[in-house]
Amino acid sequence: MAKVDDSDKPSGDSPSSVEQYLVKDPERFALNMARMIEQAGKAASAWAEPREKGELRDTVAEPMADMVKTFSKLTEYWLSDPQRALEAQTRLFSGYLDVWSKSIQRMGGDEVDDAVKPDRADKRFLDPEWGRNAFFDFLKQAYLVTARWAGDLVDHADGLDEHTRHKAGFYVKQVANAISPSNFILTNPELFRETVASNGENLVRGMKMFAEDISAGKGDLKLRQADYSSFEIGKNIAMTPGKVVGRSDVAEIIQYTPTTDKVLKRPLLICPPWINKFYILDLNPQKSFIRWAVEQGHTVFVISWINPDQRHGLKNWEAYIREGLQYGLDTVEQATGEREVNAIGYCVGGTLLAAALALLAQEGDHRIQSVTFFTTQVDFTYAGDLKVFVDEDQIKALEGAMKDKGYLDGTKMATAFNMLRSGDLIWPYVINNYMRGKEPTPFDLLYWNADSTRMAAANHSFYLRNCYLENNLSQGRMELAGRTISLADVTIPVYNLAAREDHIAPARSVFLGCQYFGGDVDYVVGGSGHIAGVVNPPATGKYQFWSNGKPVGDFDDWLKGAVETSGSWWPHWQSWIEAKDDTLVAARKPGISGRVLEDAPGSYVKVRV
């Protein structure tokens, strides 16, 4: 629905506009409210049962305590100076007064501008009634005034340290998104109308879905973002033909079937993140980077990480390097006879790969001859909103939670990632699922997003402490296998891809990390974000990328001077790879001496939490 200009707003509510908010069948409405309460009881039971059995311990108090502590510091700054507190209150009341006076003027028939307007990208207030109906219009503007005032309190709190300011801004945004009038039946005109029109049947369906999602989460809400029943791994997702040719305690190694008669002499080993599953690079034939790479003549090997359980609690970064990356290199050599390999690391898989390269350089293992990083951070100075969750107190609490099980539940990490974009990944689905009672549509990307993985305790603790908390990797302080490693020892060619709108590995953060490598680095910025900026097939003709030689100087200056190219960065990368070594050999059939373990995508990727 399009936004309505102020001139379209009538001076008051017409009878027809009031009529749409009146219940037509009170008896049926009351019956549906009873049915909704019945479903609410099932939801409560699904929530309570695992807690009564001792199967689930609530951890809500820990993040809530951190939020309260952060807000206390913010409040202390504003209340410590009476004049400052008075000015803050005056700004808020002035905003409310402006909204009130303009609402009165509009009800009197005057044409006046809104006191405050939503951002252009804000999709919450598109329904015409947000502007046409005086009640909803007032709610919208009062909310926007309050939310922006709260954000200003954080921005202008000069006495806060940067970490506290970052956390305060993040928490303010979460609270603001949560209390939006668009999230509640009585304050959202669309939801109000739908509830009245269906006599509350939408709420019955929604509460039923709510109960089902708590049961699916075994006592926690597992918010469904797509119709997951439409997908099956290996059938219509992760479909590229290949074989599992190796398996360790932490990884399966997949070798993909060639589609060309000749292939590049150097095989390609891909190290995906263990925080998500590898098939983000193989969603379907049209989007698959893996399939495309095979078609370009690469002999592609992919590490498929285990979805860890209590057996893997002590598997740390060195274990993931030895039993994942190095095991992958050994498997590639056994399958192809080649010692020289091109490697790719994605997100935290790239961070692990960078650390491994520094370690292997000291140990004299030089099999990887070129490395490509997809949205990978090696320096965490500008690491974005995920830093909100990382300080000594929060890490200690997390380590305590992981101690008994040996792992972090996958839903915890998924929730953290969803909170980074709660306005897109949480509240629209809460509204659609539980208030409208509508089933979400099939979407392969959101199926992957919901296919959570657990975090092995030792591995996750090492990552949070050494990267986010202490920034040891870029500063030459990280210790692995009894050695202190340095990225300066990584002297092979580096292709470092960032994404301009990435909220997980910000482009500025990736840019800064380039300076720590000891060899040549080609820095490229793709359009869009952490996923779409990477998974951008040439055939779609979407987005663009920026390239400009060496990543030196200021990031903003580099970007201003960069060359913009329409479409996918994939062909640009392929040219970079071929410039390093374009020697061709006969295509290789998957397997080690003819032996394979099973068909791709293997078993590890199919383990769900």
What is the distance in angstroms between the CA of the first residue and the CA of the last residue of the chain?
Answer: 38
Instruction: Give Cβ neighbours of residue 380 (< 8 Å, ≥ 6 apart).
Output: 387, 467, 468, 471, 473, 474, 509
Using CA of residue 151, residue 152, residue 156, residue 159, what is the dihedral sign? negative
Judge whether 160 and 77 are in contact, CB under 8 Å.
yes
514 in active site = no
What angle, rounded to 10 degrees, do the helices at 82-107 and 61-79 form? 100
* H helical segments located in 239-376: 289-295, 317-320, 327-336, 348-363
Judge whether 384 and 505 are in contact, CB under 8 Å.
yes
What is the SS3 string spanning 398-430? HHHHHHHHCEECHHHHHHHHHHHCHHHHCHHHH
Instruction: Using alpha carbons only, give the angle 307, 311, 316 rounded to the nearest 5 degrees.
Output: 75
**Whole-angstrom distance, CA of residue 311 vs CA of residue 406:** 7
Judge whether 343 and 369 are in contact, CB under 8 Å.
no
Instruction: Give Cβ neighbours of residue 435 (< 8 Å, ≥ 6 apart).
Output: 185, 191, 202, 203, 206
Can you read off the two tokens belonging to residue 16? 């027809």
Can you read off the two tokens belonging to residue 179? 């209390």
Q: Which of 271, 347, 467, 514 is catalytic?
A: 347
113, 114, 120, 122: CA torsion to nearest 10 = -160
The residues annotated with a catalytic role in the active site are 347
